[in-house]
A and B are shown apart, each in its own frame.
Chain A
Amino acid sequence: MTAYVLEAWYVAAWSHEVTGEPARRVVCEIPVALYRTADGRAVALEDRCSHRGYPLSAGRVVDDALECGYHGFQFDCAGTCIRIPAQEIVPPRTRVRSFPVVERDGWIWIWTGDPDRADASRVPDTHWMTDPEWATVTHSFRFECRAELIHDNLLDLTHESFIHTSTVGDDYIYKHGITVVVDGDVVSADRLMPGVAAPPLYASTMKCEGLYDRFHCTEFHAPSFHVLHSGITGQGRPREEGYLIKVMNGITPIDAHTSHYYYAFSRNFGVDQQWATDELVEGLRVVLQEDADALALQEIGLQSRPPGEFDVLIAQDAGVAKARKVMARLLAAERTPTAADAAAPAASGTA
């Protein structure tokens, strides 16, 4: 199994995807069944019945419990088995893991680590999704690549000059340097591009011609989420005066070679213009498909790369390099036994 940072929140679904019909997701190689109770609460249980391993997501919701479709075992929201149709006694081991869930601004987050360490305050801010001053477009993609490649992609936006030539790319991007800031588990890479044209995808929506100061700042909340603060403003003017875009990217590993990509694009201009939204829905789908195609090819390239060969990083990769170091630190911290672990008695006997 690939190593994942598990003491973390991951986006598992959009709110509208979690209903009274169970849905399956795989997060960091962990199968998860998602459903919603009658009072609207989202629930996440391990998607593998403890009886015979059947996926619970193939069953149904009965009185807020999830019923296995194979032999009818029922599990409540905490993962405790509350009914075995064929007998009265429920063996204590007949339970499945439940995951802490946070539902906020249309996102369903699950905590894949120790439930006692699940801190909802660590879920990144996404309030633009529900702020009436902003309009939002969303997409969901399955990327045929490891999650790390998507992190790299978002932290080094010079690829826009080559991958996204018809939408958000321009040669001026890679000609401007970046400022990288590392603060705890957050890495940001900021690029200011003074006196340039607006990106083709947004120019008509923004109704702007001429030259502006363009900017984009990728803010990576390790290990799973990026907020891209971008936009254009008048030359020499503060960013907050301009047309602003917040691109939120939930990157959730499925396994070593595939990833869920939950994408939301919020804008503070043309908020009520449906034609603009329609145009962005299609334009952003193109952008994401271009990324998906490129990273799938990169994944193939990496799988055939001989051991001992590594990326050659350049100065524009400063954010990439620092993010990798933060991820390595988080992984190492999870491998290091805590004092509590050391004090725990050794397991005895077998079930």
Chain B
Amino acid sequence: MQLLLRGAALLDPDDPVAETVLAASPDSLARARWLWDVRVARTLEPAYAAASTGIGPHRLVVRTADDVEAQRSRLELDSPSALRRPPHELWLVVVTSGALRHGAFTVAAGDVLVWEGDDPTSIELEPASDDVVLEQVRLRRSDGSELRWVP
């Protein structure tokens, strides 16, 4: 499954402390053991500032249980790129600067992409502007078993 969250959908402009869950498992406590969640939060000390989206400075918050690992990295996309996602991993990409094309979509700064499961595992990204920068979060289980989501 893949999910595209437009920046305008992420934060409530009238709520100074708004925090939005992008993806999580489980999606509600008391149903299953909590494993992980990824949130976007407004902050005065941004990890990145997607000013062009109008949602202001914000940052990603990644929390995991002991048996889930998260790896974060910054990518600069200056040419078409095909990423290979192992199907047992869940990936999340935030466009922090510029814009890219992914299939039929133009993904702008402040937008978020999430992939999980076996569709798709080949992810093609193409710059749609100069200076495209992404923040990538890779989530996996420590024992190598499949990590899924409940959005």
Which residues of A are interface residues toward B (Cβ below 8 A)?
Answer: 176-184, 308, 310, 312-318, 321-322, 326, 329, 333
Contacts and interface: CB of A to CB of B under 8 A. Distances in A.
A179 B151 contact: no
B3 A180 contact: yes
Contacts of B103: 179
Contacts of A183: 6, 8-9
Determine the main DSSP class of A at the interface with B.
mixed
For the complex of A and B, 8 pairs with smallest distance between CB atoms:
A177-B119, A183-B6, A182-B9, A318-B151, A315-B1, A321-B151, A181-B4, A180-B3
From B8, B105, B120, B150, residue with most partner A Cβ within 10 Å: B150
Interface of B: 1-6, 8-9, 12, 27-28, 30-31, 103, 105, 116-120, 148-151
9 contacts: A180-B1, A184-B6, A310-B28, A313-B27, A313-B151, A316-B1, A321-B27, A321-B150, A322-B151
Contacts of B3: 179-182, 318, 322
B117 A180 contact: no
B84 to A, nearest CB: 17
Contacts of A176: 119
Nearest to A318: B151
Contacts of B30: 308
A303 to B, nearest CB: 20
Nearest to A181: B4
Nearest to A180: B3
B123 to A, nearest CB: 12
Given A313-B150, A313-B151, A321-B151, A181 B6 contact: yes
